[in-house]
Structure 1
Amino acid sequence: MKFLTEYRNPELVKFYLNEIEKIVTKPWNIMEICGGQTHSLVKNGLLELLPDKVRMIHGPGCPVCVTPISLIDKAVALMEKGAVLCSFGDMVRVPGSKKSLLQAKADGGDLRILYSPLEAVQIAEKNPEKEVVFFAVGFETTAPSNALSVVHAQKLGLKNFSLLVSHVLVP
């Protein structure tokens, strides 16, 4: 693996820990959001190496990681009933209780990977005979763009557009 030794260099680790110790003059609370980040910190013993003034707080997990299986199952069921399911690409391999969105697509479901919920509105406009559902998974920061897609669909008079929502709030 390229760069493996660069990330396991004890002298470099000591240097950066020393730099952190110099910078931290009062207590810091830092939240890592993603479960993958937490796993890496724990697995590599980084929590024990940080100065006492640095407190890592384990966050809610990224929206993808903490999406309830029941919602993934609902998304799969919508595809199986003939809906066009639109999603960001990070959701397609997340397992539901029986299958992922990608497996549902392989079984004949219509899955569209998008960069914006507004693209789903365009798909609904071009396919008035099909139900188009945007799987709105994200932090509270994605909620405004998801809401905007509903406003656009309403202005266009679309009756075949909806959201399946799973937003995560970071207090």
Structure 2
Amino acid sequence: MKYVDEYRDPGLARELLTGIRRRATKPWVLMEVCGGQTHSLLRNGIDAELEGIVELIHGPGCPVCVTPAEAIDLACDLARRPGVLIASFGDMLRVPGNHGSLLDVRTQGGQVRTVYSPLDAVELARREPDRQVVFFAVGFETTTPATALAVLQADRYRLENFSLLVAHVRVQPAM
């Protein structure tokens, strides 16, 4: 499989490490944001290979990991309400709040749909005019423009059945 298999190529990995060593004129400090990134770096020994060249700092965690349980609970409560549909990214469905996950709610009959972008949630609201479609907006600064674009698009369509449950988080500046 193109691209995926390239990341598993030990020869390519060695070339990349050699390139990093050659280009590093002084020690670099990098922050990985997601726990999955941290796990991959440690599991594959990349941190040891870059010792003295790159200092890895563990960041805040991915949006899935840092979304407050209370926000997940609120999304679950909304999905249980008649006439309300929660639209969420798929990786949020299994994340537990204090009282279960969106996937639990869906298996109990709650209205939860997976979307791949905030604009998909807007289209869902267009197709489901008799339901209040609530987009569960999670992510860092990089995802907020897409959420804002969804609001603008919903306004253009004059949708009154589209709303947001916002749980965006901010990566704190280093300086």
TM range (shorter): 0.7 to 0.9
Q: Which has the greater radius of gyration?
A: 1
1:30 alignment partner in structure 2? 30
The RMSD of aligned alpha carbons is 2.6
Q: List alignment gaps of at least 5 residues for structure 2.
A: none
**Alignment TM-score, normalising by the size of structure 1:** 0.81
1:15–1:145 CA distance, 2 compared to 1 (3 A): closer
Counterpart of 2:162, as a letter, is: F
Alignment-derived partner of residue 60 in structure 2: 60
Q: Please state how far the C-alpha of 1:45 moved relative to its aligned partner.
A: 5.9
1:79 and 2:79 aligned: yes
Q: Provide the rounded CA distance (Å) in 2 between the counterparts of 1:152 and 1:16.
A: 42
Q: How does 1:145-156 map to 2 (within 5 A)?
A: 145-156=146-157
Shift of 1:87: 0.9
User: What's the counterpart of residue 127 of structure 2?
Assistant: 126
Which residue is equivalent to 1:117?
118
CA contact 1:24–1:53 (8 Å) conserved in 2: yes
Instruction: Provide the TM-score with structure 2 as the length reference.
Output: 0.79
How many residues in Structure 1 have an aligned counterpart in Structure 2?
Answer: 165
Distance 1:80 1:138 in 2: 23
Alignment of 1:129-168 (within 5 A): 129-168=130-169
CA contact 1:86–1:112 (8 Å) conserved in 2: yes
Shift of 1:128: 2.4
Shift in alpha-carbon separation, 1:111–1:18, aligned structure 2, 3 A: same
Q: Matches of 1:14 and 1:120 in 2, distance apart? A: 42
- Of 48-57 and 130-139, deviating more is 48-57
TM-superposition CA deviations, 1:8-32 (whole Å, max 9, x none): x9xx999976665444221111111
For residues 17 and 90 of structure 2, what CA distance do their matches in structure 1 show? Answer: 36
**SS of equivalent residue, structure 2 residue 125:** helix
Structure 1, unmatched stretches of 5+, are none
Structure 1's 19 and 161: CA in aligned 2 closer, same or farther, altered over 3 A?
Answer: closer
The percent identity for this pair of structures is: 53
C-alpha distance in structure 2 between counterparts of 1:126 and 1:13, whole Å: 46
Please tell me the residue identity of whatever aligns with 1:34: C
Change (3 A) 1:50 1:148: same
Q: Secondary structure at the match of 1:84?
A: strand
In the other structure, the counterpart of 1:91 is 92
